[in-house]
Structure 1
Amino acid sequence: MSLFTMDNVRKTFAHGEVKEEILKGINISLSQGKITALTGASGSGKSTLLTIAAGLQTASDGQISFEQQELTSMRSEELRQIRAKDFGFIFQFAHLVPFLTVQEQLDLMLDTAESPLSKQTQKKEIKQVLELVGMWKRKDAYPASLSGGEKQRVAVARAIIHSPKVLFADEPTASLDSKRSQEVMKLIQNLSKERHITVLMVTHDMDMLDFVDEVIEMRDGKIVDKKNT
């Protein structure tokens, strides 16, 4: 049984009287603990698909389901709760809060997700996750003192600290050099397997496909190819 599905999803934008269909009947099924990469040229609809899947914008038509719940018919507050508790997000840039330490970035995420864990358990979880991403020794550092690779490692830790079921990543390695990109993708791959996190990721970097389970190629708002790696 699929954890997450998109059924005949469409997205149309209106520019005055002109309408442009960005997504043209998208069908996707994601399994637990698998990493799926969305590829294709700029303008193919990858990022639009990702943001609609993550509930950050609405589809014009079609159905999106998560754990047999239909997201497309949910009220905004219900959808917000799912985004906060069950979804994680990584973007091209880390977008860390500049006045919070590494440890405080994760504290804030747990508060946002309304974590049911006790404060003592939260502290243990933060330590464990920062150790997993190799950033525990920098727990008291502020973003300004971190390298690009370190910032993205913190962004990964922040995205998974509340144990999301689905992780959405939009070009998570685009701002990094080749070595750091490999390190971050290996980290995402390991966390996906260890914590059974489903990952949907947009990437232009073909080298990153070595770390994924499935590749979906898009062109002009349509899926033109699907293959397992």
Structure 2
Amino acid sequence: MTLFTIDAVRKTFKNGEVEEEILKGINLSLKEGEITALVGASGSGKSTLLTIAAGLQKATEGQVLFEEQNLTKMSTEQIRKLRASKFGFVFQFAHLVPFLTVEEQLLLMLDVAESPLKSHEQQYEVNRLLQLVGMAHRKKAYPSSLSGGEKQRVAIARAIIHQPKVLFADEPTASLDSQRSQEIMFLLRELTKTLKITTLMVTHDEEMLAYTDRIVKMNDGIVLQTIQ
């Protein structure tokens, strides 16, 4: 089922007197339970496309449709609420709060997402998800005692604790070694399939593409090729 549609999206920036076109009419549909990878050289527009899809910046032209809602017509507050409730984010670095334990990181996210769950239900969800990502044994640990791979597992758990429909991952393995990268990608794929999330990922690492369902190759703001 198609959950997310990017329709004729263009993005331009002013650079002094010159107007630069970063995206040149991108069309892309994202399906439930699939990982789509955006790949291309620096400056190809893949990160800009990700941030527009996530509602972090506005397209100059075109529209972004999610569950029949048009993000390009939403107010800033409407988009903020949508991101908090329906979207999850994983970045190159985990960006964990240093003074919170692993379980507190997830509880904070539930608070931000204004979860309707009662306190004991929230604790159950935290425990269940930490078990799912292999971090239940470290739930009382602080970020300073975690390895890079462990931090990224916690970041993934935090990103999906509120049961988002879409997960945006921007270079999620770039700071990890090869083995840890493979483990994180395997985890992302398993969670995407099990929880039926729609995952859009930017990556430079071609080894990670084996875990994706679709590869979108970009260059100079256009889609060169889509491989499924």
- Say yes or no: TM over 0.5: yes
What secondary structure, in the 3-state scheme, does the structure 1 residue paired with 2:131 have?
Answer: helix
- Could you list the runs of 5+ residues in structure 1 that have no partner in the other structure? none
Give TM-score, length-normalised by structure 1: 0.98
Question: Secondary structure of the residue that 1:110 maps to in structure 2?
Answer: helix
* Aligned counterpart, 1:167: 167
Query: 2: distance between equivalents of 1:198 and 1:161?
Result: 15
Deviations along 1:114-156, whole A, 9 cap, x unmatched?
A: 1111111110000010011111110011111110000000000
Whether 1:80 and 2:80 are equivalent positions in the alignment is yes
Match of 1:20 in 2: 20
- Alignment-derived partner of residue 188 in structure 2: 188
Q: For the residues of structure 2 that align with 1:187 and 1:138, how far apart are their CA atoms?
A: 17
The yes-or-no answer on 1:139 pairing with 2:139 is: yes
For residues 53 and 175 of structure 2, what CA distance do their matches in structure 1 show?
A: 23
| Residue of structure 1 equivalent to 2:127 | 127
Q: Offset of 1:16 from its aligned partner?
A: 1.4
* Aligned counterpart, 2:5: 5
How far 1:199 sits from its partner (Å)? 0.2
**Whole-angstrom CA distance in 1 between matches of 2:59 and 2:99:** 35
What is the aligned partner in structure 2 of residue 34 from structure 1? 34
Deviations 1:148-187 (A, max 9, x none): 0000000000001000000000000000000000000000
**1:45 lines up with 2:50 in the alignment:** no
Task: Note the C-alpha offset of 1:41.
Answer: 0.7
Counterparts of 1:50-69 in structure 2 under 5 Å?
Answer: 50-69=50-69
Distance 2:3 2:39 in 1: 21
Report the Cα distance in structure 2 between the residues aligned to 1:175 and 1:209, rounded to whole angstroms. Answer: 17
Separation of aligned partners in 1, 2:122 and 2:190 = 22
SS at match of 2:2: coil
Aligned AA for 1:92?
Answer: Q
RMSD (Å), alpha carbons = 0.6
- Report the counterpart of residue 95 of structure 2 in structure 1: 95
Question: What TM-score do the two structures reach when normalised by structure 2?
Answer: 0.99
Letter in 1 for 2:140: D
Alpha-carbon deviation of 1:2? 1.6
DSSP-derived class of the 2:50 partner? helix
* C-alpha deviation, 1:76, in angstroms: 0.9
Q: How many equivalent residue pairs?
A: 228
Equivalent residue of 1:21, what SS? strand
For residues 204-223 of structure 1, what are the structure 2 equivalents within 5 Å? Answer: 204-223=204-223
SS of residue in 1 equivalent to 2:167: strand
What is aligned with 1:200?
Answer: 200
What percent identity do the matched residue pairs reach? 67
